[in-house]
Structure 1
Amino acid sequence: MNDPSPPLPQPCTLQDWLSHCERLHPVAIDMTLERVKTVADRMGLAFKCPVITVAGTNGKGSTCAMLEAILSESGYRTGVYTSPHLVDFEERCRVRREIVRAQDLTAHFASVELARCQHDAAITLTYFEFTTLAILSLLAASQLDVVILEVGLGGRLDAVNIFDADCAVITSIDLDHMAFLGNTREAIGFEKSGIMRPAKPVVVCGPLPPQSVIDHAQKVGADLWRFGADFNFSGDKQQWGWAGRGRRYAGLAYPALRGANQLVNAAGVLAALTALRDVLPITAQAVRVGLSMVELPGRFQIIPGQPTLVLDVAHNPHSVAALAENLDAMGFYPCTHAVFGAMADKDVGPMLARVSPMVDKWYFTDLPTERASSGASLLSAWQAGNTRPDALAHAYTNPADALAAAVSAANPTDRIVVFGSFYTVGGILKHGVPRLLAKHLQT
C-alpha cells in the first residue's frame, strides 16, 4: 500500500514522530510482512548478535525481563524490545537494562521515514510497524551481545518476525485477539508458531500446548524444548529447582516477580538459556541473582501501604484467572476493592465472573483511547452477570479518579486491586507509584 503524504519535516521530537506514525496507515493492524520487510531491507537492518524472540498470550514481558536480568548478570550487553508501554513510549526499549531516552530514538524514526519514502510512492506502515522498525534500528546500532524481542501480536505475521531468531520462546497460549489470530487455541497456536526456525531451539512453556505448535515444530525441523518432556521444575515453600537436557539448578529462590505463574515463565527462561549455552554461557550465580532482582511494573505488583494495593495488567480470561489465584493466595482481607478498565474487543464476561467472588466493591473506568470500553458499559456488563447482591459498583471517567474513590472508601486493612488494560495500570503509575493511606489514618 502506498502513501501519498509527504515526509514529516525534520527535526522532530519523539512525540512528533509518534503522532506522524498514527496518521500513516488506514488501519491500526495489518497482518502482512512484505511492507515491513521492504523497509527493513532498505535500512540494512541486521543484528550481529544472537536474537531471542518471545511470543505467547501471557507472560511475554515477564519472560523478557527474566532473560534480560540473567544475561545481564552474566556480563552480556542486552537489548530488549517489549510492547505496549505503561506510561512512556520509551519504556518499550531497554539497552543494558536502562530505558532509552526519547532523544536517542528520534534519529532512528528518521531512518525509517527515509527508507519508506525512498521512491516516488512511499510505503505505508502501521504505528506498530513504524515504531518497531525504529526501535530495532536503535538496538542494531547499540553494540549488543544479545537482543530479546517480544512479539506484539501472534507471531507469523508480526513485524518482529522479519528476523530469524537463534531461539524462540512461546509462553502460554490462550484466547485473545481472536479477530486477528483465530478463535481456537489451535489457530492461535499456529500463528504463534510462525516464529520457529529450522534447526533452531523453540521453548514451549505451557504444560498443554496446542497440537498445532508441536506439529509446526516438526514440520519446520525446529529443536523443540517442551515442558514436561525436555525440562521441568519442582519446588516447596522455600525454594525451587529446574532440570533439563543435561543441566540442573537446585535451591533457587523464587523469582522476584510475584505469582505462581511466574515459575512457569522462569522455567521457560532457563530452558531457553540452556538451549543457547554454547553461544551465551551463563553462570548459576547469574541465574540466582537475576531471578531474585528482576523487576517489571504491573505484573502482580504489590505496593505496601494501608490499604494494600495490587497492580496487574491482566486483560484476558487466562491472565485474569492467574490473577484470581494469586489474590486468593494472599490470604484474608475484610474488603477487596477492584478498579477495572478494558478494551472494547475483550471478552469481559468471563473475566468479571472469575474475580467477582472475591471483590466487594467495583470501580469501572473509562480509558484514554477510542478502542476502550467505557466505564458505564463495563458496569452494565457486570450488572448483567453479577451474582452477589451485596457487591457495589460505580463508573468513573479515568483510573486515577477510580482509585481515589476506592481509597476514600477503604479501611486500612482492605485491599485494592487495579487490573485490566495497560492503560488502566498506566493511568495509575503515570503519577508515580502510589503510597496509599486510608482515610482513617489521615491526619
Structure 2
Amino acid sequence: MPRFAALADWLAWQEQSHPRPIDLGLERVAGVLARLAVQPKKAPTITVAGTNGKGSCVAFLAAIYRAQGYKVGAYTSPHILRYNERIRVDGQSAADDDICAAFERIDAARADTSLSYFEFGTLAALDIFSRAGVDIRILEVGLGGRLDAVNIVDADVALVTTIAIDHVDWLGDTVEAIGREKAGIFRAGAPAVIGDEQVPASLLQTAWEKQADIMQIGRAFHYRKHTHHWAWWTDRLKLTDLPLPALQGEHQFRNAAAAIMAVMCLQARLPVEPGAICRGVREAHLNGRFQLIGGETPILLDVGHNPQAVQTLLSYLQTYFSGVKIHAVFAMMKDKDIPGVLAMMRDRVDQWYLAPLKNPRAAPEELLSGYFQQQDIKNLNKGYAGFSDCFQAAQSAARPGELILIFGSFFLVSEYLSQFA
C-alpha cells in the first residue's frame, strides 16, 4: 500500500520528514540508489554545476541532443510553477503518477534511511530516466557539487559554469572554498568543462588533483560573436555561422559555448551533427531567465538572486533598455546577499515595490526595508497584502514604454507566472 496517492501529499511529507531541509552528503542517498537498482544500462551523463548559468547550460544541452533525435532526460531545480518541471523526458515534464510511483519505490528501498526533499527528487529522476530508457542524462547540481545528491552519479562529462559567493552557510564564504566544492563533480580521466575564464584557483587545482581532463573556455575552446551569428572552435574543429542563442543576454554565448564543448566530449558515444547544434542553440528555452513579455509596458522576468547574476542583468538592461524607466517588483530569500544586490541596482531602478512572499525563507518586509534604508533608497513602495496587489501597483504606475522588472527569486517569478501569465 503506497504511503500517499497524490503528489502534493508526497511532497508535503518530504518537506517535514527529514530533520534538515538541506543535508549535504552522499552516503545515505547512494545507499538507497544501490538498493533501487535503477541502472541496468547506464546512459551517458553530463552533470552541470556552478553559481549561475546551470539552467541555461542544461537547456542548451537538452535542446541540442533532442534536435539530433536522442531521448533526453533532464533534471533541474528549483521549479517555477510545478514540481514536475524538475524531471523532464524529451522536453515533457514527468507525470504525477510516474513521480508518485518512483517515490513509492524509493520509500520501500530506503527502509529506515531518512532522505531530504532534494534527495527524494534526485532518486526519482534517476529512476524515471532508467525506466524511460533515455539516451542521455543531463543533471543539474542543486547546491555545491561535492556533497550534492546529484554527485552520486559518476559524470561522463562534468561542466562548471561560473563561481561566485552564494550559499555561504553550506559552501564557505570565499570563492576558493566554493570552487573546491563545485569541483567535486569532476572525475579522473573524464572531461571537466569550465565555462568561465575567471575561476578560482581551487577549481583548477582540484581538477588537476583529480586528474580530470580540463577544458576551459579561452584555452581549450573559444567563441567569437558577430552581428548576426557567432563562431565556436577548438584547435581541431570549428563551427562557423552558428545562430544567435535563443536565450537572451551576452552571457548566453559563454553558456552555449560550454554546452557545445560538453557535446563534443561525448561525440564518440553520442554523435551530434552541426545542424543539430544550430537548431538546439536556436531553440533552447528557459522560463524566468531574461523572459520578456511584450506589450505597451513590457515585463521582464529574471530569477537572478546574487550579485553575479544581477551584474549580468544590469548588462542586459544597458543593452536593451538603456534610458528606460524601470519599476522593480522585488523580493529575495533572507540568506542571500540582499545589500550587494541593492547596491548594484539602486541607481538603475526608478521605483521599487516590495512583494510579500509566503515562503518561510523569504526576507520579511521589515528586514528588506532596513536594507533599503541602509542603502539610502527612498523610492520604495511597500505594505502590500500579497504579490498580486504589489504587481498591480507597479502596473498602474508604469507608463507605456517603461519597464516592469520582476526579479530577485525563483519564487517571485513563479508568483507572476502562476497568477498573470
Quote how far apart the aligned CAs of 1:181 are: 0.3
- SS of the residue corresponding to residue 426 of structure 1 reads helix
Quote how far apart the aligned CAs of 1:201 are: 0.4
TM-score, structure 2 length as denominator? 0.97
- SS of the residue corresponding to residue 347 of structure 2 reads helix
- Tell me how far apart the structure 1 counterparts of residues 259 and 336 of structure 2 sit (CA, whole Å): 28
Percent sequence identity is 41
**Runs of 4 or more off by more than 6 Å in structure 1?**
none
TM-score, structure 1 length as denominator? 0.92
Which amino acid letter does the alignment assign opposite residue 406 of structure 2? V
Q: Where does residue 348 of structure 2 map in the other structure?
A: 358
- Tell me how far apart the structure 2 counterparts of residues 178 and 343 of structure 1 sit (CA, whole Å): 13
- SS of the residue corresponding to residue 141 of structure 1 reads helix
Say if 1:254 and 1:292, in contact at 8 Å, map to a contact too.
Answer: yes
User: What is the 5 A alignment of 1:340-419?
Assistant: 340-386=330-376, 391-419=379-407
Q: Where does residue 275 of structure 1 map in the other structure?
A: 265
Residue 64 of structure 2, aligned match among 70, 76, 80: 70
Say if 1:375 and 1:397, in contact at 8 Å, map to a contact too.
Answer: no
Quote how far apart the aligned CAs of 1:331 are: 3.1
Residue by residue over 1:349-398, the C-alpha shift from the partner in whole angstroms, topping out at 9 and shown as x without a partner, is 110111111111001122121111013421321122035x5x34324343
Q: Where does residue 426 of structure 1 map in the other structure?
A: 414
User: What is the 5 A alignment of 1:150-165?
Assistant: 150-165=140-155
Which amino acid letter does the alignment assign opposite residue 349 of structure 1? P
- Tell me how far apart the structure 2 counterparts of residues 362 and 19 of structure 1 sit (CA, whole Å): 33
- Tell me how far apart the structure 1 counterparts of residues 285 and 4 of structure 2 sit (CA, whole Å): 35
Aligned positions, number: 420
Q: Where does residue 281 of structure 2 map in the other structure?
A: 291
Quote how far apart the aligned CAs of 1:431 are: 2.4
The alignment status of 1:89 with 2:83, answered yes or no, reads yes
Q: Where does residue 439 of structure 1 map in the other structure?
A: none
Alignment CA distance shift 1:333-1:408 (3 Å): farther
Q: Where does residue 204 of structure 1 map in the other structure?
A: 194
Q: Where does residue 230 of structure 1 map in the other structure?
A: 220
* Range with bigger deviation, 395-404 or 316-325: 395-404
Residue 111 of structure 1, aligned match among 85, 105, 108: 105
The alignment status of 1:213 with 2:203, answered yes or no, reads yes
Residue by residue over 1:257-285, the C-alpha shift from the partner in whole angstroms, topping out at 9 and shown as x without a partner, is 00111111011001111111111111111
Q: Where does residue 437 of structure 1 map in the other structure?
A: none
Unaligned runs of 5+ in 1: 1-7, 434-443
Alignment CA distance shift 1:165-1:334 (3 Å): closer
- SS of the residue corresponding to residue 30 of structure 1 reads coil
- Tell me how far apart the structure 1 counterparts of residues 371 and 248 of structure 2 sit (CA, whole Å): 30
Residue 26 of structure 1, aligned match among 19, 23, 31: 19
Quote how far apart the aligned CAs of 1:79 are: 0.5
* Range with bigger deviation, 122-131 or 181-190: 122-131
Which amino acid letter does the alignment assign opposite residue 363 of structure 1? Y
- Tell me how far apart the structure 2 counterparts of residues 15 and 240 of structure 1 sit (CA, whole Å): 44
- Tell me how far apart the structure 2 counterparts of residues 197 and 301 of structure 1 sit (CA, whole Å): 35
- SS of the residue corresponding to residue 224 of structure 1 reads strand
RMSD: 1.4
Alignment CA distance shift 1:432-1:288 (3 Å): farther
Quote how far apart the aligned CAs of 1:180 are: 0.3
The alignment status of 1:327 with 2:327, answered yes or no, reads no
* Range with bigger deviation, 60-69 or 275-284: 275-284
Quote how far apart the aligned CAs of 1:23 are: 1.8
Which amino acid letter does the alignment assign opposite residue 199 of structure 1? G
* Range with bigger deviation, 67-76 or 358-367: 358-367
Quote how far apart the aligned CAs of 1:421 are: 1.1
Which amino acid letter does the alignment assign opposite residue 368 of structure 2? L
- Tell me how far apart the structure 2 counterparts of residues 334 and 65 of structure 1 sit (CA, whole Å): 30
Quote how far apart the aligned CAs of 1:432 are: 4.8
Say if 1:379 and 1:393, in contact at 8 Å, map to a contact too.
Answer: no
